[in-house]
Amino acid sequence: MFARLNRWWSQFYRNARTVNNEPLNKVSLIVILVVDLFILTNVFMGLNDISQWHLNPADAYPCYGAWANYREVNSDKPADRDFAFIQRSIASGNLSQDSVQQRYQRLQVDHLGTVSKTCLKSAEYQDQANTAENRKTLQTIDQRQAKIRSLEQANTKIRSQYDSTLLEKLAGQPKNQSINEVSAEKAKQELDKNNQAIATLKQEIADLKQQLLAKPEVVNFLGFLGDEGQFKTVEQGYDQAAFWYPSIQFLFQALFLIPLIGLALWVHRLANRRGYGLIALISWHLLVIFCIPLLLKLFEFLQVGVVFEFVFDVISALFGGLLFLVSYVYILLIPLLGFGIIKFFQRFVFNQKLQAANRVQKSRCIGCGRKIRHQDSHCPHCGFYQFVECPNCHQPTYQYLPYCKECGHPQEFDRLSEVPPSSPDHLPPLDHLPD
């Protein structure tokens, strides 16, 4: 296992730093690294853009958050809860010239997916409640509340002076030597006057609130919000969208990366076959750069996508609050998944026997895949020794092929993988790109 990983790393390192089996100079290596960073940055920018192509749950159901908060508020006075929600709704609808429904509809422009029809209907009711008269009523209420705050501040100041005046009076201090602006009697009159004004303002505010909540357009809006069936439709749609959104994002990101990976792989193989060393080097770097984000997005998908939701639900159902067991499950599943992927590619994609058979049929080097003559025992491009001695007839036969080409005796794969002493010590392993 470690020998195979070492071969993979050696092959990766050789492909990344050599042109026609010659090492890159320092200047060329710096240029390649700068190009790599530039391309990698643009790849992540493209991934971010394409991941936002489909509407996210908050944009597909823009009314869900405010609607859910409205229903979750436990208030002993429903009128206060209704007024607070209407006040926020009318204020938010007055932020721009566009109506709330137009803002919702604009969310789906240049995006895949549509805004919930229920949310659009809710926005229509909200726009109907957002009239100039209702906004003026809210402004009047705000003015009354500002006056109340001003009077309460004045009362606080008067009370502090009133207490000081009483102390001066008890001490027998003359009025002309008092440090307070008003006498105790006058302070008491001011307090009573302000308290009466505050009570009047509060009653006016209560009347204005009742008038606002009694408006037909407001009644219709609140009635729509109180419809249990409408809310359940939005809630189920939002939960379903939130469940599938990470998977949709990963799908679009994979569709963005897979063509780039396929093109870089095809160019790299073609450049290797025709001996275009610089193109092979650049395409190899591009292939690595395109694979890095795909692997990162794959692990991100496994953590927050459908798989995670399924594992999370199973753990919650079986063990209740012991959610830390999810980490144990992932620690077990991810290595098993990685092992399965490695076995699949080793057996069907990067199988050395299949590669060797294909390259021998095309008169190519078993090691690097370049064109050679049938009688060449060593590759003139990479120095790889093509043959190994058959243990039965002791004649040279191709490496990695299952039978001897002279006597047809079965060959042992492990034995054939040994490089004969007559071959150079630096012989490269098979190229790990499928033919």
Smallest CA-to-CA distance from 397 within 366, 355, 369 is with: 366
Between 22 and 229, whose confidence is greater?
A: 229
Q: What is the per-residue pLDDT for 415? A: 40
Separation of alpha carbons 110 and 61, rounded Å: 17
Grade residue 10 by pLDDT with cuts at 50, 70 and 90. Answer: low
Token look-up 């501040």 returns 153
Q: What is the mean pLDDT of the segment spanning 63-85?
A: 80
What 3-state DSSP class applies to 227?
coil
* Tens digits of residue pLDDT in 376-389: 888 888 888 888 88
Token look-up 């020998």 returns 3
Separation of alpha carbons 273 and 233, rounded Å: 59
Between 309 and 61, whose confidence is greater?
A: 61
* Tens digits of residue pLDDT in 291-315: 888 887 877 776 555 566 666 667 6
Smallest CA-to-CA distance from 213 within 91, 95, 85, 125 is with: 85
What 3-state DSSP class applies to 398?
strand
* Tens digits of residue pLDDT in 102-118: 888 888 888 888 898 99
Q: Are 237 and 61 in contact (CB under 8 A)?
A: yes
Token look-up 């992540």 returns 44
**Rounded to the nearest 10 degrees, what angle do helices 277-304 and 26-51 cross at?**
40
Separation of alpha carbons 55 and 115, rounded Å: 8
CA distances from 281 to 29, 61, 296, 320, 366 (A): 11, 48, 23, 53, 20
Q: Is the pLDDT of residue 76 over 70?
A: no
The pTM score is 0.59
Separation of alpha carbons 179 and 433, rounded Å: 94
Separation of alpha carbons 58 and 53, rounded Å: 14
Smallest CA-to-CA distance from 231 within 70, 55, 60 is with: 70
Lowest-pLDDT range, 162-176, 364-378, 412-426?
412-426
Q: What is the per-residue pLDDT for 88? A: 85
Q: What is the per-residue pLDDT for 25? A: 67
Q: What is the per-residue pLDDT for 147? A: 93
Q: Is the pLDDT of residue 422 over 50?
A: no
Backbone angles phi, psi at 364, to 5 degrees: -120, 160
Smallest CA-to-CA distance from 430 within 353, 374, 373 is with: 353
Q: Is the pLDDT of residue 11 over 70?
A: no
Supply 201's token pair.
């303002």
| AA identity, residue 64 | Y
Separation of alpha carbons 135 and 212, rounded Å: 10
Buried b (16+ CB within 10 A) or exposed e, 242-262: bebbbebbbebbbebbeebbe
DSSP state of 401: -
Q: What is the per-residue pLDDT for 203? A: 92
Instruction: Kindly report the average pLDDT of the chain as a whole number.
Output: 77
Q: Are 417 and 433 in contact (CB under 8 A)?
A: no
Smallest CA-to-CA distance from 244 within 50, 49, 57 is with: 57
Say which residues have a Cβ less than 8 Å from residue 378's Cβ, sequence separation at least 6: 384, 385, 386, 423, 424
